[in-house]
Structure 1
Amino acid sequence: MIQTNQAIKFTGEQQASLVQCDWEPLPLAADEIIGRTIVSLISNGSEMGAYMDYSGGMKYPVETGYAAILEVLEVGEAVTNVGKGEHVLALSPHQAYSRVKFSDYIPVPAGMKPEHAVIGRFPAVSMTSMIHSRIRPTESVMVTGLGVVGLMCAQVMQHCGYEVYAFDPNEGRRATARSCGLRHVYASPDEVPGLKGTAGLAMDCSGREEAVYSLITNLRKGGDLYLIGVPWYRSTEKFAHELLRSIFYGFIQVNSGFEWSLPRHSSEFHPNSSHGSIRKAMEWIRDGLIQVENIYDIYAPSACGEVYAGIADGTLKKTCVIFDWSLV
């Protein structure tokens, strides 16, 4: 019987701690499972928003995290797709135990390493934009920002037949992208003058205005721009006029890259879904079609304070960080 839980929480601005928290001993609902967390993965972009309080007015403490691999401990009587001891990917926070409804987890393909399966959460972020886009393979696509979301985005697009050009000013991130098999990796589009005016699709995963400006000037007429990275704060002094003029005369369609514009689950007339994207992404990782080896570091949850500080100040070298809950 679970008596107490442990969770990583933001206890103040730029403060993260592993804390004890209550576990409510409620009867297990028919459509629920209870799982023990094996690993959980930090979302550098989304979690930094709360950690740094970019928007102002954040009320602490704050629960954080939304990608975890759970080992199933108990199953409700209506649950038929997983059993005790099996693994699921859940949209759960960084905590030792989670209670999850049938509709909120995805079974992990047999034989996958938990630390690989949990990364399957992140290709799905940009797959929403790819599914919505009017631009089809084999056109050129530009991806800016090679954090975990951008790195997964570029690999997914290349696997699906697009000619992918990936950009990031950080040389370490560019080296990681090349090691994952991306063929065209540069610091900025200025290094590829032949691309100007030919790319059909641009996907910004950085959330930075300067990246969006660089993409707009390289799209062909009638191209698509998807804003996937959250623009947490202003990063330039430029006026909007240049951007609006480029959009207007370039006949550019600008779209939100909001992941949840797809339904969570498929239906008869809506076959694409967020859970479907996560499921497919895990399969591609399992089959080696998306590379994830050597893109992450593993830490104990008790090290969360130094981990989030390292992400904030840019001292962590790997693309993403995984917490290993067996160390709790």
Structure 2
Amino acid sequence: MIQINQGIRFTGKQQASLVQCDWEPSPLAADEIIGRTIVSLISNGSEMGAYMDFSGGMKYPVETGYAAILEVLEVGEEVTNVKVGERVLALSPHQAYSRVKFNDYIPVPAGMKPEHAVIGRFPAVSMTSMIHSRIRPTESVMVMGLGIVGLMCAQVMQHCGYEVYAFDPNEGRRATARSCGLRHVYTSPDEVPGLKGTAGLAIDCSGREEAVYSLLANLRKGGELYLVGVPWFRSTDKFAHDLLRSIFYGYVQVNSGWEWSIPRHSSEFHPNSNHGSIRKAMEWIRDGLLQVENIYDIYTPSACGEVYAGIADSTLTKPCVIFDWSSV
């Protein structure tokens, strides 16, 4: 019986620590599993919001993290889709042990490295936008921002047949994108004059206003813009008039890229789901259709303070950070 659990918590603004955290030792419910965390994945965008307290008024301490590979230790009597010793991807925080309901995890395909499987969480973020979009693979797509979400977005779109143009001002990120097989990688759309007015779909994964202006200037009339990156803070002094004018006269459809705008689970009349996207992304990674080698660094959870500080000041060189819980 597990008595003590440890987890990463934001204990104050720009403060992260590995601490002892609450654990409920009550008997396992019939529809639950208990898992030991093998690896967990940092979401640079979502977690930075709480770590940096961009919106102000954050109440600390804060539980953080939403993707982990668990080794199943116990299963409830009604659980039939996994067995003790198997691995699942769960939307669990950064902590050594987690209790998860049977419909809140996805079995990991056999033979996958846990550090590869956990990255399957990220393609699902932008797959929601692709599912909603009416733009088909005969048209060009622009992806702005090549952090881990944008890098996976561009790979997914290219794998699904779109002509993808990916942009980021950071040369290291551009080099990583090219190493993952992306064919058209540039600093900005200004480097591709022939793209102007022809792209049907633009996906912003940066959360920056200037990036959105740049994308709008290159969409065709009637194109679509999806805002996947969270706009945590104001990054330009431009007025909204230019933005509204571009949208109005460009007949552009602007959409939130919020991944949870599709159901968590599929149903008879709603076959697309967030869990379905994660499952498919893991399969594509397993089959080598999405490249994840050499895009991540691995740290022990006890190094969380320096890791989050490195993300905040942009000193980490890889787009993805994974915690290895084997030593906890």
Query: What does 1:122-137 correspond to in 2, within 5 Å?
Result: 122-137=122-137
Secondary structure of 1:326 counterpart: coil
**Runs of 4+ that moved beyond 2 A:** none
Q: What is the match of residue 17 of structure 2?
A: 17
Q: Offset at 1:23?
A: 1.4
Q: What is the match of residue 78 of structure 1?
A: 78
Q: What is the match of residue 153 of structure 2?
A: 153
Q: Offset at 1:27?
A: 1.1
Q: What amino acid maps onto 2:148 in structure 1?
A: V
Q: Offset at 1:22?
A: 2.7
Q: What is the match of residue 257 of structure 1?
A: 257
Encode CA deviations 1:267-309: one digit per residue, 9 max, x unaligned: 0000000000000000000000000000000000000000000
Query: What does 1:29-48 correspond to in 2, within 5 Å?
Result: 29-48=29-48
TM-score by length of 1: 1.00
Q: What amino acid maps onto 1:275 in structure 2?
A: H
Give, in whole Å, the separation in 2 of the partners of 1:253 and 1:21: 45
Q: What is the match of residue 174 of structure 1?
A: 174
Q: What amino acid maps onto 2:48 in structure 1?
A: M
Give, in whole Å, the separation in 2 of the partners of 1:42 and 1:316: 13
Q: What is the match of residue 246 of structure 2?
A: 246
Q: What is the match of residue 192 of structure 2?
A: 192
Q: What is the match of residue 315 of structure 2?
A: 315
Give, in whole Å, the separation in 1 of the partners of 2:22 and 2:164: 47
Encode CA deviations 1:229-275: one digit per residue, 9 max, x unaligned: 00000000000101100100000000000000000000000000000
Q: Offset at 1:17?
A: 0.1
Q: What is the match of residue 296 of structure 1?
A: 296
TM-score by length of 2: 1.00
Q: Offset at 1:26?
A: 1.1
Q: What amino acid maps onto 1:128 in structure 2?
A: T
Q: What amino acid maps onto 1:70 in structure 2?
A: L
Q: Offset at 1:327?
A: 2.0
Structure 2: stretches of 5+ with no match in the other structure: none
Give, in whole Å, the separation in 2 of the partners of 1:249 and 1:310: 42
Q: What is the match of residue 183 of structure 1?
A: 183
Structure 1: stretches of 5+ with no match in the other structure: none
Q: Offset at 1:138?
A: 2.0
Q: What is the match of residue 220 of structure 1?
A: 220
Q: What is the match of residue 268 of structure 1?
A: 268
The share of aligned pairs that are identical, in percent, is 90
Q: What amino acid maps onto 1:313 in structure 2?
A: D
Query: Aligned residue pairs: how many?
Result: 328
Give, in whole Å, the separation in 2 of the partners of 1:214 and 1:120: 29
Q: What is the match of residue 282 of structure 1?
A: 282
Q: Offset at 1:222?
A: 0.4
Q: Offset at 1:129?
A: 0.2
Encode CA deviations 1:10-52: one digit per residue, 9 max, x unaligned: 0000000000123111111111000000000000000000000
